[in-house]
Structure 1
């Protein structure tokens, strides 16, 4: 047997070797530790990337006012704070429910405070920011639907938990109501600062829209008890639209679909999480069954992405360019959302040439870890337990101390969901 054949055989045997529970638990613990060591800033907001010591140069207030590298904040280290905080709240609360430790309570509370902070940095009502500069105030002028839905979701989860105090519940409710009222008044568009005005929305008839709108209505009714939100929810459920003229409930029942790329679980997982929350809140058996069907369909699709984790080489040494400011070479003023998007796409195309590591982490870490979480969101614990080894293989695959992007936090989330399901705790059935 030559050396190449021996190495290939060894790798194949390693991939087929059964995982030990301790290996998975150790990997999950490392993922959790690395998130909190390197990626949660002093305001309780998750940043996108940092070096292996947790260092990163944030945009300055002047750069943020100018919209550098672009006014959307795409590819900057504070691009996805609202999205990541809101989604990661699921793991934080499940962990606290499992451990009941003071430390884990403080972590969940810090994420909640970060979410509220992102809704308090602009004079534009209803604005949810992506992240902040060192001054804790300066920010990019546009959020998005992908940022705002997880913001609602994370705060609702915290509000619904036993951890929330009466004062926190009141404060969270105030932010949720004020923000939702603005969005509804704008026909479900997300408010942005001038000259942009708005960025993204929940009003469409697609899987990346319908679950978000329904969740906001349902959550606001639960938080406020105001019948108008329930009426809006009931009306929105049966409204039809889109290419196939489906109702929003039918769209949720069909589950996650990939529309604008070969796969994008990392963004569509926000909608799967919305359906999961709807399933938890819904009392009508027929509607709840439709949500359960959509969750299982989403899990089935996400399951196909899990093997992508094996394509990531932990020994890879390709360059990760920490200096995101190299993209400023193409910067120009932007007055519209489209101008900002066009600039951002040009910048990324060039950035890939100087930062080959980036695409490896986004494709072979971000996608399969987000998919692993989606698999665990389906409520059928029997099916989930049959897939647990596949999810665990994803969690155990990475050396999280060598990843530059924070977009592996879903591994921690998937681990906590698995732990809840395997222990048959109330958290697994809620």
Structure 2
């Protein structure tokens, strides 16, 4: 693996690799028993290398994951002024603090599985640090229910818009920590408070994510695609398990039978059918978190018929994800394409003020085209590492052991 590859090996790829390997190790939420898993030394070494590299380079002082750094773990964060002005854009897209809530939630899931197997104090400390990072991202704004992407150099300033893709892993990560056996009584109370206040506000807004002025909201859990159905059902079931308040169970049962979309399916039927691609040829990268929510929903569900339906959805999701695994063969680690960590150079010349989400998205897409010209390596990693490793993680989330074994290397 050459120097160029490590310089631009994005945190997303490292997280997915580690999540994939740790997920199939024996643990409370694993589909395989301890005596059924054999981890080859080369795989174990790769896990340790990825884990060490994440903590060496990509976890900031607040316990929040960064998108990219140089080989020494250095990167120029957006300044507080840039965050306030929406530079490079008000979404924070393509900046090094774009995906903190998403990455922390996903990595915390893997870190907890690691701790369950090792019972190491070192692993416990790291999982706790990631959890605190998630809580911080829900504490940096005066706006109720706001989940930030990351923080600037002052540890507080942030971009004004989060998203549904950020918020779901934030919820899943905190839920996993709450139910892991690691959380203290005080931590459980804090997590319950953050989850309850945030979820109640999202529901009050019609399942939309709160965004700061002038944007109002950004992203939604409402709808009848797989990602949306899994997000809503998981969130409501989680709140019932968390609070034991029957109102959440009643809302959950109501949502199960809500019908809509092109095929006029219920959300129960949508989840039973499993992951489906709709906005691109494949998007395991964004849908994997919805599959992880379905996995958690399967674990929480006590009704045998519903649990069986969710398992069928997880099997279907795994079988669709498998089709993306060969993408990894198209990646050439010896390719000398570059990635420029100086994100300002290509994007800030295109900057202009934004007052709506639409304006921010349009600007970000224009900036991405410029960024790709200076960083051609980015596309190769997102297409041929991020997508197949996301798919591999989805396979490991399947509770049917025969399906997982079929695709194990």
Same fold (TM over 0.5): yes
Match of 1:263 among 268, 274, 282: 282
Match of 2:251 among 207, 225, 232: 232
Match of 2:72 among 43, 49, 53: 53
The 5 A counterparts of 1:4-403 are: 21-326=40-345, 327-389=347-409
Asked if the contact 2:315/2:403 (under 8 Å) is kept, the reply is no
- Give the secondary structure class of the aligned counterpart of 1:86: helix
- Indicate the residue corresponding to 2:18 in structure 1: none
Asked if the contact 2:91/2:361 (under 8 Å) is kept, the reply is yes
Q: Take 2:364 and 2:253, find their aligned partners in 1: how far apart are those partners?
A: 39
Deviating beyond 6 angstroms after TM superposition, the runs of 4 or more aligned structure 1 residues are none
Q: Take 1:262 and 1:37, find their aligned partners in 2: how far apart are those partners?
A: 34
Using the TM superposition, name which of 187-196 and 251-260 deviates more.
Answer: 251-260
- Give the secondary structure class of the aligned counterpart of 1:320: coil
Q: Offset at 1:89? A: 1.5
Q: Offset at 1:295? A: 0.5
Q: Offset at 1:20? A: 8.7
Q: Offset at 1:123? A: 0.6
Question: What per-residue deviation string (whole Å, max 9, x for no partner) do you get for residues 222-256 of structure 1?
Answer: 11111111111010011101111111111111111
Q: Take 1:90 and 1:48, find their aligned partners in 2: how far apart are those partners?
A: 18
Q: Take 1:376 and 1:273, find their aligned partners in 2: how far apart are those partners?
A: 10
Q: Offset at 1:29? A: 1.4
Question: What per-residue deviation string (whole Å, max 9, x for no partner) do you get for residues 339-368 of structure 1?
Answer: 000000011012111110110111111111
- Give the secondary structure class of the aligned counterpart of 1:209: helix
Q: Take 2:234 and 2:158, find their aligned partners in 1: how far apart are those partners?
A: 27
Question: What per-residue deviation string (whole Å, max 9, x for no partner) do you get for residues 74-100 of structure 1?
Answer: 000000100111111111011000000
- Give the secondary structure class of the aligned counterpart of 1:200: strand
Q: Take 1:289 and 1:344, find their aligned partners in 2: how far apart are those partners?
A: 42
- Indicate the residue corresponding to 1:410 in structure 2: none
- Give the secondary structure class of the aligned counterpart of 1:353: helix
- Give the secondary structure class of the aligned counterpart of 1:208: helix
Q: Offset at 1:382? A: 2.2
Q: Take 2:285 and 2:106, find their aligned partners in 1: how far apart are those partners?
A: 10
Q: Take 1:253 and 1:382, find their aligned partners in 2: how far apart are those partners?
A: 19
Q: TM-score normalized by structure 1?
A: 0.85
Q: Take 1:111 and 1:205, find their aligned partners in 2: how far apart are those partners?
A: 32
What is the CA RMSD across the aligned residues, in angstroms? 1.1
